[in-house]
Amino acid sequence: MNSTDFIVARHDLQQCKSIETRLPDATALPEDALLVKIDRFAFTANNITYAVLGDQLKYWQLFPAPEDFGNIPVWGFGDVIASNHPDIAIGERLFGYFPMATHLVIEAADVSKRSLRDGAAHRQGVAPVYNAYARVGGDPAFAGRQGDYQALLRPLFMLSFLVDAHLAEHEFYGARSVMLSSASSKTAFGLAHLLHTLRKDIRVIGLTSAANNDFVRSLGCYDDVVTYDRVTSSLPSDTPVALVDMAGNSELRATLHRHFGDQMKYSGRIGLTHRSSSPDEPELPGARPSWFFAPDQIRKRAKEWGPDGIDLRFGAAWSGLAPMLDRWLKITEGSGPATVKQVYLDTLNGRVPPQQGHILSLAE
Ligand SMILES: NC(=O)c1ccc[n+]([C@@H]2O[C@H](COP(=O)([O-])OP(=O)(O)OC[C@H]3O[C@@H](n4cnc5c(N)ncnc54)[C@H](OP(=O)(O)O)[C@@H]3O)[C@@H](O)[C@H]2O)c1
């Protein structure tokens, strides 16, 4: 049996193709291994960022591909179709980090009632969150449309949730408003929703492109929406602000820091949606820009909040977000290598409308 894998050229992301790889026979699986059929996965700008940072953050090592190519990790669902592990039955449904492929062999380790881990040697040395699979069969929160929302938003909203907790813990570093770049992104509007509902005295400002202005305004969780070309003319520079930067656009960040000067109280680097990040950024006035990386924060919070501390708090936050999603997002399902390629290239080249949530499968 073969797996269909979608791979991209590591140093020229516009080049991509599907290939067939040979799978081990179900009867020849290594001890404790599972053969998983990947059923559906989400695809957003976040996956493009995984590719951009593939070398730096070791994303390419998770799902090996032929030389000079990489398989981009995606969040989604898979069903166990063969099992050599005594506690995992055929038919188990898993949620977690998968390759863009039709199949994956997982070396099941640390199997518990709710989760397992892929113990494959090549997957070690990355943050634990990338090797954990939730056993979600029969859980309505991970089924049907709710499951699609989980695949699309769970990893992104985790970041939103962690940034909200971080800023609140530090009393917003003295800022009275929070600016979010790429305000139309799912990661940004998840955070805007939390700030809007939980931090009533903080003003939430969305920065976006002219094309996405109407969408961002329609969400109702931003107090103000400003297009990138108007940031200096529209935003008063004399009140303390925090920047949560999903766009990763060096020019925009420099403009904002110079405009606000010492009033820039916090500058968190989150994403790279614009892919216009210069490796040599100058010293900027105001707070020093620093990376905020969800897996590091998850480790920190797990220690502080105890084993179930994140799940309980995140679950409460998710239940506030979930009712908004039918209005905010339109799920578009697509299958087969040609469709996956088109969605990949559209996402890479910024052609996906922000309300669209792509759920894909490589199987025809
Ligand atoms: N640090 C972490 O741990 C962490 C965790 C989660 C997410 N993130 C990052 O947050 C970012 C947002 O991810 P997402 O999945 O939420 O994004 P998304 O929903 O797919 O966001 C799409 C938006 O990004 C902007 N954009 C996308 N592609 C573009 C392009 N080629 N050119 C210009 N603008 C483009 C546009 O927003 P505008 O027009 O509004 O700019 C677009 O509406 C990603 O970089 C992701 O990696 C980081």
What does the pLDDT look like over 8-53, one tens digit per residue? Answer: 999 999 999 999 999 988 888 999 999 999 999 999 999 999 999 9
Task: For residues 49-62, give the mean pLDDT.
Answer: 97
Residues 6+ apart with CB under 8 A from 82: 26, 29, 34, 35, 90
Cα 244 → chain centroid: 15
Nearest-atom index, ligand 1, CA of 270: 1
Q: Which two tokens stand for residue 50?
A: 């995984």
- Please name every residue paired with 33 in a beta bridge, in sequence order, or none if there are none: 107
Task: For residues 215-221, give the mean pLDDT.
Answer: 98
Alpha carbon of 222 to ligand 1 centroid (Å): 17
pLDDT band at 144 (very low <50, low <70, confident <90, very high): very high
Nearest-atom index, ligand 1, CA of 248: 45
Specify the 3-state DSSP secondary structure of 267: strand
Alpha carbon of 272 to ligand 1 centroid (Å): 7
Instruction: Quote the pLDDT of residue 279.
Output: 87
CA–CA separation, 82 and 90 (whole Å): 6
Q: Which two tokens stand for residue 343?
A: 């969605």
Alpha carbon of 104 to ligand 1 centroid (Å): 27
Task: For residues 250-256, give the mean pLDDT.
Answer: 98
Q: Within 10 Å of residue 35's Cβ, how many Cβ atoms? A: 23
Instruction: Quote the pLDDT of residue 51.
Output: 98
Query: Is the pLDDT score of 1 beyond 90?
Result: no
Pocket of ligand 1 (CB under 6 A): 44-46, 49, 156, 159, 182-187, 208-209, 212, 246-247, 270-274, 292-294, 349-350, 354
pLDDT band at 336 (very low <50, low <70, confident <90, very high): very high
- Please name every residue paired with 205 in a beta bridge, in sequence order, or none if there are none: 179, 224
CA–CA separation, 24 and 35 (whole Å): 9
Instruction: Quote the pLDDT of residue 108.
Output: 98
Query: Is the pLDDT score of 145 beyond 90?
Result: yes
Nearest-atom index, ligand 1, CA of 354: 43
Alpha carbon of 247 to ligand 1 centroid (Å): 6
Specify the 3-state DSSP secondary structure of 16: strand
The residue behind tokens 């140093």 is: 11
Alpha carbon of 23 to ligand 1 centroid (Å): 34
Nearest-atom index, ligand 1, CA of 206: 40
State percent of the chain over pLDDT 90. 97
Q: In a 10 Å sphere around its CB, with 0-12 CB exposed, 13-18 middle and 19+ buried, how is residue 265 labelled?
A: buried
Between residues 306 and 198, which one has the greater pLDDT? 198
Query: Is the pLDDT score of 163 beyond 90?
Result: yes
Alpha carbon of 331 to ligand 1 centroid (Å): 17
pLDDT band at 307 (very low <50, low <70, confident <90, very high): confident
Task: For residues 90-112, give the mean pLDDT.
Answer: 98
CB 207 within 8 A of CB 231: yes
Mean pLDDT computed over every residue of the chain: 97
**Pocket of ligand 1, candidates 14, 179, 182: which has the most ligand atoms within 8 Å of its Cβ, to mutate?**
182
Alpha carbon of 335 to ligand 1 centroid (Å): 23
CA–CA separation, 36 and 108 (whole Å): 11
- Residue 323's H or E segment, with its range, is none
* Cα diameter, the chain: 69
- Residue 5's H or E segment, with its range, is strand 2-9
CA–CA separation, 181 and 178 (whole Å): 10
Among residues 254, 256, 252, 223, which one has the least CA distance to residue 237? 256
Residues 6+ apart with CB under 8 A from 33: 24, 84, 85, 105, 106, 107, 108
Nearest-atom index, ligand 1, CA of 348: 31
Instruction: Quote the pLDDT of residue 152.
Output: 98
Query: Is the pLDDT score of 328 beyond 90?
Result: yes
CA–CA separation, 270 and 319 (whole Å): 24
CA–CA separation, 364 and 355 (whole Å): 25
CB 273 within 8 A of CB 45: yes
Nearest-atom index, ligand 1, CA of 155: 6
The residue behind tokens 């979608």 is: 6
Among residues 136, 152, 153, 154, which one has the least CA distance to residue 333? 152
**Pocket of ligand 1, candidates 273, 274, 330, 356: which has the most ligand atoms within 8 Å of its Cβ, to mutate?**
273
DSSP-derived secondary structure for 65-130: -STTEE---EEEEEEEEEE-STT--TT-EEEEEE-SBSEEEEEEES--SSEEEE--GGGTTS-GGG
Alpha carbon of 45 to ligand 1 centroid (Å): 5
pLDDT tens track for 118-142: 999 999 999 999 999 999 999 999 9
- Residue 239's H or E segment, with its range, is none
Query: Rounded to 5 degrees, what are φ and ψ at 58?
Result: 65, 20
**Pocket of ligand 1, candidates 14, 53, 185: which has the most ligand atoms within 8 Å of its Cβ, to mutate?**
185
Alpha carbon of 343 to ligand 1 centroid (Å): 15
Instruction: Quote the pLDDT of residue 193.
Output: 98
Instruction: Round the CA-based radius of gyration of the chain to a whole number and report it.
Output: 21
Task: For residues 239-244, give the mean pLDDT.
Answer: 98
Instruction: Quote the pLDDT of residue 79.
Output: 98
Instruction: Quote the pLDDT of residue 186.
Output: 98
